[in-house]
Amino acid sequence: MKTTLHAAPPSQVETECLVVPVLDAAENNNGDKSDKHKPQIQSDDKAVLDAAADLIASGEVAGKMLEIALLHKPSGLKAKRLMLIGGGKAKNFSSYELRKLAGAAVRNLKAKDLKGFAFVAPSSWTGQADPASKSTLVFQRGGMEDAVKSIVEGAFVGNFDPDYYKSDRKEQKIDELVIVAPAAADQKALQAAMEQGRIIGEAQNFTRDLVNEPGNRMTPTILAERAKNMCDETGLKCEIYGGDKIKELKMGAFWSVAQGSDEEPRLIVMRHEPAGAPEKPVLGLVGKGITFDSGGISIKPSDGMEKMKYDMAGGAAMIGAMRAIAQLKPNLRVIGVVCASENMPSGKAQKPGDVQIAMSGKSIEIINTDAEGRLVLADGLHYARQLGCTHLIDAATLTGACVVALGMVNAGIFANDEDFYDRFSKSLQKSGEKMWRLPVDEEYREMIKSNIADIVNSGGRWGGAVTAAMFLKEFVGDTPWLHLDIAGVAWMEENKPWIAKGPSGIAVRSLVEFVRDLAASPLSKN
């Protein structure tokens, strides 16, 4: 999708459709509750306000979240159509909502076979009146760059559809997006923000494409090839290792999962090492890459097992994040490690009761072969430390227990270092991705003790997401570490106005924002 910036008044933009957000300013910070809704068009262009006046007066447009009204041949506008799209309460409006508006606009308009549209960037995030201006809404310094970036990210997410194996598929996509921003804004800064949004949006869709592929078309070998091609295209260093190297490295936990499948496992290492970057910190991004998870000998129920093609979503997120990092070029050393394998039952597969020796030397009693993601991550995390990573983040569709705890709204986040977590949480605010912190208290470690080995790979039913995190914590030592359990949010179970049913690409935006933040302002302690 081609993205361009336009500084002309919105009414003068020639386009198939001009999209303008509408916010509800009722119950604003001044305490005015006289009206149920106070719809406010996010434009000072008089022609746009006049064209929308009848819809506003009729009450058909109130500014409610994702409410859409479409006006054909709007008077006084060069656009063929005017779309008013609700962003909810003005006082709550943020980049999170704005991304949804952009995605919803794309999905609505491409369904009408339109190929391009223009989106008017709103000039406020708070809805507070500016006493020095006639404009109802305040223009916040720095807010317009964030608005432009968020619009582009949301539009790219909305433009992706996962149904590309349908023989009768009708190609519906937006080819061109024009963002209309105030001429008074810093156009160079807005252009940079738009480019950042494009890179991140494309990286998220790249991740979604990897996750969407079925298991027969996304084996560990194919995933490694896709990662290698991406690295070659973007200038990253990449190393791909097979089963012999995994055994040579004594990755017993990783190999125990891979040994049951006829498909070869792959250890994928991607390096962003810009010249002149500080020696420390070195951030390690470790992803679970189980390209199909049958559960192994502890086989899963057949109902829904087809979705286990997306058990590599954590690994795909790391590959996608590395793609964006390579293009944005932050001055920070980042190493991505993805442990890719299938988890299959066979005569060669590990069995409940087996004891495996991880790369770190810890012994693991296998209680449940379906708790395999933590096994590959155990060796991946330890290997990342050996490669020199001073800080670690892993991402994995790790536990159904996390879905039980948080539903399909928030990912679970676990941390062993407060400063590291605090910095990441600020990046979450920028990315708009929802994650909720869960504990890693030492009391939970009792639940993963083994009678025959150091630890078990499953702590049982209660606190399953936490005991899985406690298992991983055994392999990071004192290294600052974050664990992202994305099981509930890596796959959209139904179509939403702003995103298609299927892979979400969760964690890519947050990881990229975090890396950019670290490069701009290094951690106080490395």
Assess whether the previous peptide bond of 345 is cis (omega < 30° from 0): no
DSSP 308: G
Rounded CA gap, 295 and 173, in Å?
Answer: 37
End-to-end CA distance of the chain: 40
**CB 332 within 8 Å of CB 276:** no
C-alpha–C-alpha distance, residues 380 and 387, integer Å: 10
Which helix or strand (DSSP H or E) is residue 178 part of? strand 176-180
Of the residues 78, 247, 250, 300, which is catalytic?
A: 300
73 phi, psi to nearest 5 deg: 45, 55
Which amino acid, 64? K
C-alpha 292: how far from its chain's center? 21
Q: Where are the beta strands (DSSP E) in 212-332?
A: 237-241, 266-272, 282-293
Distance of alpha carbon 22 from alpha carbon 241, whole angstroms:
52
Local structure of 268: helix, strand or coil: strand
Q: Token pair 């009729």 is at which residue?
A: 58
422 CB burial (10 A radius; 0-12, 13-18, 19+): exposed
> Which one is catalytic: 288, 374, 509, 516?
374
Structure tokens given for 154: 């949301």
Hey, what amino acid is at 418?
E
Closest CA to 209 of 89, 326, 353, 317: 317
For residues 365 and 372, the answer to whether their CB atoms sit within 8 Å is no
363-365 vs 455-456, strand pairing mode: parallel
Tell me how far apart the alpha carbons of residues 113 and 172 are, in angstroms, rounded to a whole number.
Answer: 6
Residue 323 annotated in active site: no
Q: How far apart (Å, rounded) are the C-alpha atoms in residues 95 and 144?
A: 10
300 is catalytic: yes
**Identity (one letter) of the amino acid at 325?**
I
Q: CA 370, 211, 224 angle in degrees (round to 5)?
A: 85
Q: Give the integer Cα–Cα distance in Å for 249 and 29.
A: 60
Nearest one of 324, 360, 326, 24 to 152, comparing CA atoms: 324
Cβ neighbour number for residue 452 with a 10 Å cutoff: 9
Q: What are phi and psi of 87, to 5 degrees?
A: -115, 10
- Kindly report the backbone phi and psi dihedral angles of residue 466, in degrees, each rounded to the nearest multiple of 5, phi listed first: -75, -45
Catalytic site positions: 300, 374
